[in-house]
Amino acid sequence: MKQTLFALLLILTLASGALAADTISAGVRAGATAGTSGFSTEVFADYHINRLFSVGATMGYVLLDHKNVSSARRDESMPVTALVKLRAPLPLLQPYVGVGQALIFRDKHASTGSPVVVAGLEYPLLPFVFLNVEYRRQFNDQLNFIAGGAGLRF
């Protein structure tokens, strides 16, 4: 039974062409910050080196309430992030984890950098369209982002 299950999983993994080498995916995501009051939007792009690894970049806009929702003061930033991701080559749900570095441009403070980790999931809808959900931890600012969006793969 174990051999049959392993063979079936291997066949499904090899038959999945969604993460073939030399593909590019791009899209948009929007979400919220967990633990603080704020929201984020971003555009993303990934170059899939092979079925397991991809490199990518994001450019976003983050608006945080200074202390709470009723605060009149807001902190704005534009993080630009470079990422390396390890992907599980599964046919339907395509989970990934990654590490990267963000350069954060701020309107009221000096620009800073921050190490970043991500964990996400992609679900293909059509051959070229997918849905995406991602969790991101930005360590220096101690921010957690949860976002969802859609993208195209070509």
Question: Count of CB atoms within 10 A of residue 23's CB?
Answer: 18
> What are the pLDDT tens digits along the chain (154 aa)?
667 666 655 554 544 444 457 889 999 999 998 877 788 999 999 999 988 999 999 999 998 876 555 555 667 889 999 999 999 988 788 999 999 999 999 877 788 999 999 999 999 998 899 999 999 999 987 889 999 999 999 8
Give me the residue spans of the domains in the chain.
2-153
Range 2-153: architecture per CATH: Beta Barrel (2.40)
* Dihedral sign, Cα of residue 88, residue 93, residue 99, residue 103: positive
Measured CA to CA, the distance from residue 87 to residue 61 in angstroms comes to: 26
Asked if 132 and 121 touch (Cβ cutoff 8 Å), the reply is yes
